[in-house]
Structure 1
């Protein structure tokens, strides 16, 4: 007589053993999508990407943006990307790791970019986010600020704002009792 339950138990134990032995499984939808995004990524020379965990670990990486025009020209601004398992349905988590005097980036590195929040859609890609970040350095938005002091300075005295930014980038400086270290490219 065949004991059906013992056969099923053995099959289940074998599957668990195979899973625990590190045998490769299927990639998640997010991992497949990030592979596609990375394959299609075409960065300009002023933007670089690095993978601290190795090039096969695509769910965590860094982007460096070096604006070559605008108020932030000459600076190098680093961003850490963490891709959630629910990607592309969930937006990437992005943090600016360079302390910068910017209306849309607070002192903790949080970024006010609509496509990282309420306007995220699964059709957007990592490329969309990178170009959105680049645009923040070309055209800061004082109407939706995270750093209200920087936004007010940008509106009230744009010339002084640009001087502060350039001084911070090239030499490091204190602005409103906060130190902004040099971040030249």
Structure 2
């Protein structure tokens, strides 16, 4: 069992040491920063996935993953996800949000860009890595899950009429209204 107080005490001690080292002109990386550096350096992304660091390559706590599915319902689309890494990573999962296009016609992504992926919530475990999340996002586009939806309307169409769902996705990739919601192009 993890002793919560000892973890908090360790984090506080690291923070104080970093503050002291910063005064001396030396910044010591926290355990979270070291793990994040390791995870990012070990990423082996397929050609359909790209990574970008909008705040520069030295700011690893914020980055974007661009997923461009080459098969399935979303083939030809381009979707950007913002990753914000908490100071408590890997003990807490990254905060991931679909940034563009928004909204996306997808059962597991709501109209605000929130993502329903079990490893970003209750199934997160510190042994999981950034790579696990990236491949989870890729899998959402290959096999949307209507059983755990954030967009209940899209999930209902996927379950009741998969051909209509496919038609809605194809139309949404080019930009269109589905119901009262406009889905911008995402190519």
Aligned: 1:149 with 2:143 = no
**Quick one: distance in 2 between partners of 1:127 and 1:116?**
12
3-state SS, counterpart of residue 148 of structure 2: coil
**Quick one: distance in 1 between partners of 2:48 and 2:79?**
11
Please give the residue correspondences for 1:128-143 in structure 2 after superposition, counting only pairs within 5 Å: 128-143=132-147
**Quick one: distance in 2 between partners of 1:22 and 1:152?**
59
In the alignment, what sits opposite 1:93? 95
In the alignment, what sits opposite 2:178? 175
**Quick one: distance in 2 between partners of 1:167 and 1:153?**
14
**Quick one: distance in 2 between partners of 1:154 and 1:181?**
20
**Quick one: distance in 2 between partners of 1:127 and 1:121?**
13
**Quick one: distance in 2 between partners of 1:103 and 1:176?**
15
Of 73, 83, 98 in structure 1, the residue corresponding to residue 85 of structure 2 is 83
TM-score normalised to structure 2 length: 0.86
Deviations 1:107-164 (A, max 9, x none): 0000110000000000000000000000000000000000000000001111111111
Give the root-mean-square deviation of aligned CA atoms.
1.7
TM-score normalised to structure 1 length: 0.87
3-state SS, counterpart of residue 66 of structure 2: strand
3-state SS, counterpart of residue 92 of structure 2: coil
**Quick one: distance in 1 between partners of 2:98 and 2:158?**
20
In the alignment, what sits opposite 1:125? 129
In the alignment, what sits opposite 1:108? 112
Shift of 1:21: 4.7
Shift of 1:23: 1.7
Larger Rg: 1
Aligned: 1:51 with 2:45 = no
